């Protein structure tokens, strides 16, 4: 899927399943976020992954 096509076809989701997300997918998402541009290339973000349903 092309980037522009993904942006144009995105949808908001407000109903989620209880199915857990695989660790490899979570790691890929964090890596994608780390590669995202930031203002003045500061890259001052922090990522946290919560998988415990009690904490979510």
The answer to whether 38 and 44 are in contact (CB under 8 A) is yes
Residue 47 confidence (pLDDT): 92
pTM of the model: 0.64
Question: d(Cα 33, Cα 3) in Å, to the nearest integer?
Answer: 15
Residue 44 confidence (pLDDT): 85
The four Cα atoms 33, 30, 1, 21 give a dihedral, to 10 degrees, of: -150
pLDDT along the chain (56 residues), means of 10: 87 86 94 90 89 87
Residue with tokens 């899927």: 1
∠ CA 38-9-17, nearest 5°, is 90
Residue 28 confidence (pLDDT): 95
Question: d(Cα 44, Cα 34) in Å, to the nearest integer?
Answer: 10
């Amino acid at each position: 899927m092309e980037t522009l096509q993904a942006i144009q076809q995105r949808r908001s989701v407000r109903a989620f399943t209880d199915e857990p997300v695989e660790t490899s997918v979570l790691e890929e998402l964090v890596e994608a976020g780390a590669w995202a541009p930031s203002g003045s290339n500061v890259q001052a973000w922090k990522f946290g992954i919560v998988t415990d349903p009690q904490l979510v």
